[in-house]
Structure 1
């Protein structure tokens, strides 16, 4: 998600859930407030895009899982414009939410200012920047899923025949660049002579534009597409070529198209934050590490209909590299530089 993204405030929907019985009892006069660990934590999220968007959908999924376990009460706002973001954060803080989650790439300074004004509230925010001890209750995270992206690239390199791969991203910022670069590194493990067409659409959610950009890359000789954005796999399906997914698993939606996907699992990140808030030990630290494969933060999706269609020696190489990543004997490079066509 970028520093400079700007979204229009299209119908911001806020979902509110009634407080649980434990919270109601604690609020009754004369009763002492119980320890955080014994009651559901009030969590709010502020999203600049719809919860259906792949990046945000993983945060939303993890929050709903914690809610279903009874660990948190969860409310959220989606389609919140950057101009409105600070106000919504303050409203949730004033309403007594103890953990606020979101993605502040376009409103870094404002978000950290809000955190300073509410020192008793924990803020877990998607951010391109590092923790700041001057704002001890603000912890940044990011989708560091370069491990899974690298593995998906190994498969892609074995599946391209033209040795020409198209890559369509949202913005050329670290969050996107590192995944594309890891994918390219994986491709070169099995097809070192592959050429890449790289394009960015300047949006986080514009499937038609992503699709048209992908069509242009197919016309340019690509027979496999890296689908960092929604819309790319649609183009691949229509033209009868393959695609590799990112963040979410869309294999069931594109059974003859999506050969592999790098999945982001936000659960380790959120669960760590919930535990720290309940223990009273939440602090400004980099939560990005909880997206690493060794911490359960990412994985390679099941091949689904492509099971058995990827060469056995390639899948053996994937398994070998995955084991090495998990045991620490191999590290996928984190390269945030903008990838270029080659």
Structure 2
């Protein structure tokens, strides 16, 4: 009798495993339904703040003649990537908070995942390029205009895109080639790698290995390059005779260094941590940190600690007030 019941359970489980999933359900913040509208208001305000602040940075770096330098060219590209990055995740999250459904098709989930990884990877690569720019500016100031000319800057940004697109496309295809035949509920507010792999029925060893390799290539290697760049920068700055020169050199790097620490800290915990030790609550919290809070803080960090941008903002404000009075 027990043998028959056991066989029936195995048969039912086998039938369930043969059911192919066609859509996922993003649970998001469904565990706190009483806070749905409050969270909607907070995230909407933060999203609009990110869009406006980064758009202003893009505007002043393109229009102000004093900001037509490689450093601000890369900052403008970084702001553009930030806008795209938050737009991939936050509007969908806001819609789910309104409808309280959270259903997302397999294709939509794949597209969202692809853009999240791609834009996130671009941010890491751009941070590395910005560190190299600061290294050349401080360690080789005489050769800086020649080394970091407009053509080189455009080529560096293009190289970042060329490197990241095929890798991310391959990763996404590999992840969605796995069979998803159990639960379709994703304990997250967007399609991300760790929660998706938890739902996969097949062997995910190859996928986890590919993720670790990609993490090393696009997170650890750039981070080491940034460390080397700043190590050389610090050595050169300490050799400067005047304290004013040292403080000016450090002030141009401090904003970038703060952003690097924030980005790499959360990314390392999220993607380099073994899958078995990843908590769903911690994963959501870290994701909120690097998808919303850091993009919100970045413009503040770059503007408040940068005199050139503050001057450009005052010029823009003067122009707008003059235009409004006419």
Q: TM class, shorter-chain normalised?
A: under 0.3
Structure ranking higher in strand proportion: 1
Structure ranking higher in helix proportion: 2
Looking at both structures, which has the greater relative contact order when contacts are Cα pairs under 8 Å and sequence separation is at least 6?
2
Superposition TM-score, scaled by structure 1 size: 0.26
